Structure 1
Amino acid sequence: MTEIACEAPLLPVVARRERLVTRQFALLLLMVLGSGLSMYLLTSVVPLYLAANGAGGVGAGLSTGAMMLSAVAVELLVPRMLGRFGYRGTLGLGLVLLGAPSLVLLLTASLPAVLAVCVVRGGGLAIMVVGAVALVADLIPAHRRGEGLGLYGVVVGVPAIVGLPLGVYLTNVIGFGALFVVAAVASLGGLAFLAGLPTRSTESEPQHVKVLGGLRGSGLLMPTLVFAAVTVAAGISVTFVPLAVSADRHALVAVALLVQAIAAPAARWVAGRYGDRVGPARPLVAALLLAAFGAGALVFIGSGVAVVVGAAAFGLGFGAAQNLTLAMMYDRVDRTHFGQVSALWNLAYDGGWGLGAILFGAVVAGTGYPLAFGLTAAVVAVAIVPALKAARTAA
């Protein structure tokens, strides 16, 4: 950051203070890189680990569902934790809970033990995502919030780009055990950056605020539900595409996951910059159309082209929807409720992800993959209706 200041010594003091990437923001981004890698390395691998040890598709769905639904439960508590323990204490706990339990998987592959690990990691994930997003909004100037959230989205997307396909690939190279160790170290290493972060918000979150309280008339409910519809499809694609594609085509799965993981953060950043200029409501409809198309392409799961094209379209729609719904929610509250917004948005993320995986695992046994993927696309398509209404209101 000092290098930037030296290159532009004549900039006004106010402009330098409002630069996007401050030292604290940079440290936060480094921390979420590690914690995100810990999550994404194992997102598709734990279902494969269970399937390889006889748990089948139901066990795979339960592993993703357990982690995400645990995250949902803990996310309700994080705004209060931020108010009481501050950013450092809260995020430090999240790093430990996300990383350390991965080592337990070295000892057992039994379904109850693996699900317990997923539950604990889900709590750590909840703390990290809610705390980090709230801190991002706290550190960024309001007029550049969409861009800042977009940059954050690009950085947290890097672990998905690397971790999702790499995790699947490395199971055949270094084995499950070594991968579990790497995932633990990636998260725990973030503890080194805690000292450089602010202790508390510039305007403390009221400790009495209830995450689900005051939603009526707040304008937060619509973007929360719309985003939840998209995350249902996200959880399903990451969990079940590796299982739906035949075992001899794992390279195709790795390519599809890589394409989706690259498309999402790129779209998140572009949508943030564009949303700062025109408002987040207007581009949201296009994002949902892309996501619905991508999810629907998986109806043709036997076609490699359909899988990769669908992954690209869904990644673009999903990434844009991430930024636009979150920016829309932050625009509708004051700074003292940033923690509540972050928790609500992440509830939609993790709740949709986990619930989608659990329900899909139950449905696919009776319908087969093509029809189940078609139903997933229909869920996303329904969300277009309230998004259209919001776009008309904003216009």
Structure 2
Amino acid sequence: MASSAGPGDRVVAGARPRLVTRPLLLRFVTVVGSSASFYLLLSVVPAYAQSAPGGGSGTAGLVTGALMLATVAGELMAPWLAARCGYRVMLGAGLLLLGAPALVLTVSQNMAWIVAVCLVRGLGFAFTLVAGGALTASLIPPERRGEGLALIGVMAGVPSLVGLPLGAWLASHTGYGSVCWAAAGIALVSIAAVPGLPGREATAGPPLGIFAGARSGALGRPTAVFAVTAVGAGIVVTFLPLALAPGHSGVVAAALFVQPAAATASRWFAGRRADRRGAAGLVVPGLVASAAGILVVALTGVPVAVVVGAAVFGVGFGITQSATITLMYSRVPASGYGTVSALWNIAYDAGMGIGAVGFGAVAGLTGYPWAFALTALLMLTALVPAWWDRTVTAEGGQP
């Protein structure tokens, strides 16, 4: 493990190196391609499955569950595969697995095929996340790691903001086939950018196992903090439309817009600040802001409070995203980038999934306002590993 007093935790003197290079621009192409392909079909495939013969709400949940299960499984195996194949090969394979199976949906509406497509696309998306994230870290100067990772976050976030509503609109106006072709084409065309990226050299050195990384405090504590904030993200996206009384669709739309918008803006700000003053000091404020936002959202009968709370949560979530990923990359050698990318993305996906499932059970017993309030309290329990990590880092010891 690298010492905690790494480039993500201190200010580096001297002129700042160039951030946007040709390889990073090519990486932008693959980020946009994978993100757009994934989000175009994210809300469309469940509706497609529900409209299939014998389909229903259960089939809609089945395909989404298959997609996320395969994504987490792929994130677990991706570092091991990347150590043997290289990040560039993994990224290209991920884009292929994400794009090509979407074409199968245009020829069959059989549920077995739909689930199989979701499983394969989940694996492909996981490979693009892990291998692509590791490549990104290797392409960014350590002195500008926070800003560079934030910039990649913006490049991935914009397609999600556009892709979700655009996919639904295209499906309703032009049919499911056109969305499938678009999602496939975007991913497959992006493969053309992969040869310009570094290959095996990014994995030089002994690889860091994903379970060893999770057990270490240097990576385990930031991963735990981020996973807890991701719980809130899954809850807001899933249950906010259900928590408000009928007739407040405008409030829901506003809240669901300001939350990712605020997260994108704060992630950029936090990344730039981390390069100048260190990322360790941002984790606790980001966590507190996330919890505070969820607590304000608990006032579901006050429309302004819901929108403000969603915005505050978005700010905190964006700060936590930037701070945790910057810290984690600064604490490993290049051979550990794949493990960091996998852990961080698993925390994201698992946190969102667990949050949605758990919140639904709690809300059934307490009602939505109390469930939001209890979620905020749960999130504050992550202050323990956050403060511990900050204290150890401040002392200059091994986290």
- TM-score, length of structure 2 as denominator length: 0.83
- Provide, for residues 143-182 of structure 1, a one-character-per-residue CA deviation record: whole Å limited to 9, x for no partner: 2111111111121121123224444555554455533433
* Contact 1:45 1:168 (8 Å CA) reproduced: yes
Bigger mean CA deviation after superposition, 140-149 or 65-74: 65-74
CA offset at residue 34 of structure 1?
A: 1.7
1:74 offset after TM fit, Å? 1.2
Residue 176 to residue 376, structure 1, CA distance change in 2 (3 Å): farther
* Segment drifting more, 173-182 vs 382-391: 173-182
**One-letter amino acid of the structure 1 residue matched with residue 341 of structure 2:** S
**Residue 193 (str. 1) matches residue 193 (str. 2):** yes
Tell me if structure 1 keeps the 8 A contact 2:94–2:124.
Answer: yes
Residues 1-395 of structure 1: pairs in structure 2 closer than 5 A: 18-46=17-45, 55-56=56-57, 63-106=63-106, 114-168=114-168, 170=170, 172-204=172-204, 206=206, 209-213=208-212, 215-242=214-241, 244=243, 250=249, 252-301=251-300, 303-365=302-364, 367-395=366-394
| Residue segments in structure 2 that go unaligned for 5+ positions in a row | 1-13, 395-399
User: Does the CA-based 8 Å contact 1:55-1:111 persist in structure 2?
Assistant: no
175-184 or 221-230, which deviates more: 175-184
User: 1:235·1:352 contact (CA, 8 Å) conserved in 2?
Assistant: yes
> Is this contact kept in 2: 1:45–1:167, CA < 8 A?
yes
Equivalent-residue separation in structure 2 for 1:311 and 1:29 (angstroms): 28
SS at match of 2:298: helix
For residues 302 and 49 of structure 1, what CA distance do their matches in structure 2 show? 34
Per-residue CA deviation, residues 232-287 of structure 1 (Å, 9 max, x unaligned), is 22223223434555786555444333322222222111111111222212111111
1 CA distance for matches of 2:124 and 2:73?
Answer: 11
- For 1:151, give the aligned amino acid: L
Do the aligned residues in 2 keep the contact of 1:99 with 1:188 (CA within 8 Å)?
yes
Query: 1:50: how far off?
Result: 6.0
Deviation at 1:373, TM superposition (A): 3.5
Q: CA deviation at 1:221?
A: 0.7
Q: Which residue of 2 aligns with 1:6?
A: none
CA–CA separation in structure 2 for the residues paired with 1:112 and 1:233: 32
**Aligned AA (1:152):** I
CA drift of 1:184 comes to 2.6
Whole-angstrom distance in 2 between the partners of 1:33 and 1:172: 24
For residue 263 of structure 1, what is the amino acid of its counterpart? A
Instruction: Provide closer, same or farther for how the CA distance between residues 368 and 121 of structure 1 changes in structure 2, counting only shifts above 3 A.
Output: farther
Check conservation: 1:38, 1:184, Cα contact below 8 A: yes
**Kept in 1: contact 2:82–2:203 (CA 8 A):** no
Mapped to 2, the partners of 1:123 and 1:284 lie a distance apart of 30
TM-score by length of 1: 0.83
SS at match of 1:201: helix
For the residues of structure 1 that align with 2:298 and 2:392, how far apart are their CA atoms? Answer: 34
CA positional deviation for 1:222: 0.5
Distance 1:232 1:70, change over 3 A: farther
- Identity across the alignment (%): 49
Q: 1-side partners of 2:376 and 2:59: how far apart?
A: 23
CA distance in 2, matches of 1:83, 1:105: 33
Displacement, 1:185? 2.4
Between the aligned partners of 2:358 and 2:112, the Cα distance in structure 1 is: 19
Instruction: For 2:340, give the aligned amino acid.
Output: V
CA contact 2:213–2:220 (8 Å) conserved in 1: no
Distance 2:203 2:169 in 1: 45
Cα displacement (A) at 1:317: 1.4
- Rounded to whole Å, the distance in 2 between the matches of 1:221 and 1:138 is 21
What is the number of equivalent residue pairs in this alignment?
379
Q: Which is worse superposed, 23-32 or 217-226?
A: 217-226
Cα offset, 1:216, TM superposition: 4.1
Q: Which amino acid letter does the alignment assign opposite residue 129 of structure 1?
A: L
Structure 1 range deviating more: 253-262 or 298-307: 298-307
Quote the Cα distance in structure 2 between the aligned partners of 1:52 and 1:242. Answer: 22
Give the RMSD, CA atoms, in angstroms: 3.1
Q: The residue matched to 1:21 in structure 2 has which SS?
A: coil
Supply the distance in 1 between the matched residues of 2:48 and 2:301 (Cα, whole angstroms).
23
**Cα distance in structure 2, aligned partners of 1:163 and 1:360:** 26
What residue identity is the alignment partner of 2:200? R
Conservation of the 8 A alpha-carbon contact between 1:65 and 1:358: no
